[in-house]
Chains A and B, each alone.
Chain A
Amino acid sequence: MKDDSKIGMSLIVKTITRLIVGPILIFGAYIMLRGHLSPGGGFAGGVIIALSFVLLILAFGRDAKVSKVSINLASNLESIGALMFLCVALLGFLGGSFFLNILNKGVPFKLFSAGTIPLSNLSIGLKVGVGLFAIFLALVILEGTKKNK
Chain B
Amino acid sequence: MELYILLIFMIFAALVAIEVKDLLSSVIAMGAVGFSLCLAFLILKAPDLAITQLVVEILCLIILIRATTRKDIPLVVEGRWVFNTVSTAVFMAVFLFFAFHALKELPFFGQPLMSVVKKYLEEGMSKTGAVNLVAAVILDFRAYDTLGEVAVLFTSVVGIMAVLRRPGRNNLKEKNHER
Contact = CB atoms under 8 A, between A and B. Distances in A.
A40 interface: yes
B143 A39 contact: no
B161 to A, nearest CB: 6
A93 interface: no
A134 B157 contact: yes
B51 A44 contact: yes
Contacts of A128: 153
A101 B140 contact: yes
Most chain A CB neighbours (cut-off 10 Å) among B50, B144, B146, B156: B146
Contact of A89 (B62, B132, B135, B143): B143
A48 B55 contact: yes
B41 to A, nearest CB: 11
Interface residues of A, number: 54
Interface in A1-54: 31, 35-44, 47-48, 50-51, 54
B10 to A, nearest CB: 21
Contacts of A131: 153-154, 157
A31 B66 contact: no
A40 B52 CA distance: 7
A108 B129 contact: yes
A71 to B, nearest CB: 7
Interface string B1-27: 000000000000000000000000000
Given A113-B130, A141-B166, A124 B146 contact: yes
Contacts of B154: 78-79, 82, 127, 131
Interface in A115-140: 115-117, 120-121, 124, 127-128, 131-132, 134-136, 138-140
Interface in A58-87: 58, 71, 75, 78-79, 82, 85-86
B46 to A, nearest CB: 9
A95 interface: no
Interface string B138-179: 111001101100110110110011001110010000000000
22 contacts: A31-B51, A36-B136, A37-B131, A38-B132, A39-B48, A39-B51, A47-B52, A79-B154, A99-B140, A113-B131, A115-B128, A117-B129, A117-B136, A120-B139, A124-B150, A134-B157, A135-B156, A135-B160, A138-B164, A139-B63, A143-B66, A145-B169
Interface of A: 31, 35-44, 47-48, 50-51, 54, 58, 71, 75, 78-79, 82, 85-86, 89, 98-99, 101, 105-106, 108-109, 113-117, 120-121, 124, 127-128, 131-132, 134-136, 138-143, 145
Interface of B: 47-48, 50-52, 55-56, 58-59, 62-63, 66-67, 125, 127-132, 134-136, 138-140, 143-144, 146-147, 150-151, 153-154, 156-157, 160-161, 164-166, 169
